[in-house]
Amino acid sequence: MSFYGGYYSYTSVADKQRKAQKYIQKMKKSGIVLHPIEENSKPGSTWWGKAWNQNMTRYADLENRVSRGHSYVRNGFVLDMTIEKGVVKALVAGSSSTPYSVKVLFDVLTESELRKVNEICGQRIDSLEDLIFGRFPKDLGESFLDLLFPSPSAIHFSCSCPDSAYMCKHIAAVIYGIGVRLDEDPLLLFSLRGIDSATLIRSSLESRTKTLLANASKPSDRILDQSEVSKLFGL
Ligand SMILES: [Zn+2]
């Protein structure tokens, strides 16, 4: 059975956009702030957005469905999306006058996995900048990313639409939209998996400070010792 097998009346893109606009105006009047995924957004402008796309292609089954989410994001149908610890909540425009409510739950990391991520970030990654730009030591690569990016069994979906398919187009749009959000703020992936950004930044800074201090204590030919200073001034 096709997900789009003609069970529901067809609503054109323009119709959905009209309904979406009406809803956005209504929320504005009620003072509710929405966090939409901008129209025509495409994940992949940064290392993390690209990695998110790639992660999805690891699971062929999921990837085919996620690609359908692209047109929804392109049309600006993801009207609201927030990412918190273990959960992505979103409102996606569809054929109904009220947007569908989508939830994507992510298993958070176990205590030992969390320790491992913090250790790696503190000891193997030189700075927060390196983390944000995806500059990892080569040997770290996959095992680190396997920890961070969820396996298919660690993701759980729900949508309020009448389509009971495991992954409807609204959920696909949200999965696709997560990549766009990661381009804007890669640390969201850490929050999503239950990793506290503040702890992460602290361990990264502590490690950076240690490296700086270690380098500072090394003898350097640019620093003259006392006897050389004396010689220089003829003392
Ligand atoms: Zn749906």
What residue ranges do the domains of the chain occupy? 13-210
Say what the alpha-carbon torsion angle 200, 201, 202, 206 is, to the nearest 10 degrees.
Answer: 110
Residue 153: DSSP 8-state? G
Instruction: Give the per-residue pLDDT at 81.
Output: 97
Question: 62 CA to middle of ligand 1, Å?
Answer: 15
Asked if residue 209 has pLDDT above 70, the reply is yes
Radius of gyration over alpha carbons of the chain, in Å? 24
Question: 168 CA to middle of ligand 1, Å?
Answer: 5
Asked if residue 172 has pLDDT above 70, the reply is yes
Q: Which of 140-144, 193-197, 205-209, 228-232 has the lowest mean pLDDT?
A: 228-232
Q: Which residues of 27-58 are buried (b: 16+ CB within 10 A; e: fewer)?
A: beeeeeeeebbeeebebbebbbbbbbbebbee
Local structure of 33: helix, strand or coil: coil
Please provide the size of the chain in residues. 235
Question: 171 CA to middle of ligand 1, Å?
Answer: 6
Question: 182 CA to middle of ligand 1, Å?
Answer: 22
**What is the largest distance, in Å, between two alpha-carbon atoms of the chain?**
96
- Look up the pTM and report it: 0.78
* Residues near 65 by beta carbon (within 8 Å), at least 6 away in sequence: 167, 172
Instruction: Give the per-residue pLDDT at 2.
Output: 38
Task: Tell me phi and psi for residue 86, to 5 degrees.
Answer: 75, 0
Question: 162 CA to middle of ligand 1, Å?
Answer: 7
Question: 157 CA to middle of ligand 1, Å?
Answer: 10
Asked if residue 6 has pLDDT above 50, the reply is no
Higher pLDDT, 124 or 47: 47
